[in-house]
Amino acid sequence: MSRPDLLSGEPVFEGTRIAVRFVGERARKGESATALLEDYPALGAEDLEFARMFVALGRPPGRPRKKLKFVHGDG
């Protein structure tokens, strides 16, 4: 099943296949807005700001790493 809003599990900018996290990481590492907008002409300044905020929030916790152990109570 294909989802146009995801690329390898990562959210993309609407109408593109550009991963939000990838752009945000490049911005976080100091790449200029001018350079990013040249590389991604489909994006605007608001998109770059969104990507920066998205990366600053960090990754969601996701699934537990260990198998959960359920304990049944007495009763």
Any domain includes 34: yes
d(Cα 6, Cα 56) in Å, to the nearest integer? 19
- 3-state DSSP percent of the chain in helix, strand and coil, to 5: 40, 10, 55
Per-residue confidence band for 75, with pLDDT thresholds at 50, 70 and 90: low
Residue 67 has pLDDT above 90, yes or no: no
Any domain includes 67: no
pLDDT (tens digit per residue) in 1-56 = 677 777 777 899 999 999 999 999 999 999 999 999 999 999 999 999 999 999 99
Any domain includes 17: yes
Residue 68 has pLDDT above 70, yes or no: no
Any domain includes 71: no
What does the pLDDT read at residue 2? 75
- CATH number of the domain enclosing 50: 1.10.10.10
- Number of domains within the chain: 1
- Boundaries of domain holding 32: 6-57
**pTM across the whole model:** 0.72
Any domain includes 68: no
